[in-house]
Amino acid sequence: METFDPLEFLQRVLRAPVRVTKVNEELFPVGMQTRDEVIVTHRLILITRGHMEYTVEGRTSLPAAGSLLWVPAWCRRQWRNAGRQRCGLLWCELAVESATLPARLFQVTGRAGEAEPVLRRMLARWPVEGEREGRLRLEAEAKFLAAEFWPAVVREAQEVAGDPESGVGAAEGSGGRHPEVAAARAWLEAHFAQADALEVFYRTVVRLSPNHFRLLFRRETGETVQGMLARLRLRRARYLVRETSMPVKQVAAEAGFDDPLYFSCHYRKFWGVPPSADRCADSVA
C-alpha cells in the first residue's frame, strides 16, 4: 500500500538545491483554459482572486481565492477559470530534482495572508540574471514557503480525519492498492533507468503469473507496465533535456535507452517535440 509523508517530502526539499525557474502574477480572463500537458517543475500557486477548476491526472478540484496550491512536477494537468470574473494567480515554479510527489493536487485554504508577502518579495526580485545572492534569496524564500505549506497540509488532513461528518477514511494515496501492484510500482520508480529493467522486473519482482499480473496492474493503474516504464524514462529524460546541457546521446543512456535514435523518436512522439528543440519553453501556472 502506497503512503506519502508530507514532512518527509519537506525534509528532502529543505536539504536539496532548489532552483526558482519562474515567478509571475497574472489575471486570467473568464473561460480561459490551459492545454492538457505534463509540467516539468513544481508549481506553488496562490489564488488571489476568483476561483478555478484544476485537474491533475484526471482528478478535479475547485480551489478559490485564498487557497495555496502545490502542483507536483511531472504530473499531467489542465485548468480553467471556472468563475464569472477574472482569476488572479501569483505563483512560482521550482526545480527540485531529488524530491518527487504523488501525482495529485495538494492545497491548503486560507493561507493568502502568510504566503502572499513572500511571493511578492520573490516577484520583486524576479528575474535574477547572473546574481548569485539574488538566486540564493529566492531559494530561501521558496524553502520558507515549503516549510509553511507542508505542515499546514498535515494539520488540515488531521482536522478532516478527525471530523466524523467528513466521510474521509484512509489517507488519499493509499487507495487500497493491491500489494503486488504497489511493490511493482515502487520497483519501477527506483530502477527504470536500467536498460534491462523490464526483463529484470518480470524475472525477479513479479510473483503472480505474468498474464494475471498484467491485467491486475492495468486495472489498478490505468496503464501497462511497459507504458509506465516508458513514462518514467521519458519524464527523467525531459528533466535532463530541460535542466542540463547533457548531449542527447548521454540523456538517452541516463534514462535507460540503449539506442539514441529510438530514444529521439520516442521522445518526440511522447512530448511532441524532439529533444534538441525542447531545451527551453515558457509556461503558464
- pLDDT category at 109 given cuts 50, 70, 90 is confident
Say whether pLDDT at 169 is over 50. Answer: no
- Lowest-confidence pick of 107-121, 131-145, 185-199, 247-261: 107-121
Q: Give the pairing type, strands 19-28 and 37-38.
A: unpaired
Q: Which residues contact 108 (CB under 8 A, 6 or more apart)?
A: 67, 68, 149, 152, 153, 156
Please report the pLDDT score of residue 221 as a whole number: 78
Question: What value does the mean pLDDT take over residues 211-230?
Answer: 88
- pLDDT category at 23 given cuts 50, 70, 90 is very high
**How far is residue 226's CA from residue 266's CA, in Å, rounded to a whole number?**
13
Percent with pLDDT over 70 in the chain: 90
Please report the pLDDT score of residue 229 as a whole number: 93
Strand ordering across the sheet containing 106-108 = 19-28, 87-95, 42-49, 68-71, 106-108
Please report the pLDDT score of residue 11 as a whole number: 93
CB 221 within 8 A of CB 178: no
Please report the pLDDT score of residue 280 as a whole number: 61
Please report the pLDDT score of residue 238 as a whole number: 86
Q: Alpha carbon of 81 to those of 7, 53, 66, 94, 257: distances in Å?
A: 31, 6, 15, 23, 40
Say whether pLDDT at 166 is over 70. Answer: no
Question: What value does the mean pLDDT take over residues 70-84?
Answer: 91
Please report the pLDDT score of residue 113 as a whole number: 73
CB 143 within 8 A of CB 14: yes
Say whether pLDDT at 130 is over 90. Answer: no
Can you list the alpha helix ranges (DSSP code H) found in 50-196?
112-125, 132-161, 179-191
Please report the pLDDT score of residue 249 as a whole number: 95
Please report the pLDDT score of residue 282 as a whole number: 61
Q: In 10 A of CB 51, how many CB atoms?
A: 18
**How far is residue 13's CA from residue 56's CA, in Å, rounded to a whole number?**
21
Delineate the domains of the chain, giving CATH numbers in brackets.
6-161 (2.60.120.10), 179-277 (1.10.10.60)
Say whether pLDDT at 94 is over 50. Answer: yes
Mean pLDDT of the chain: 87
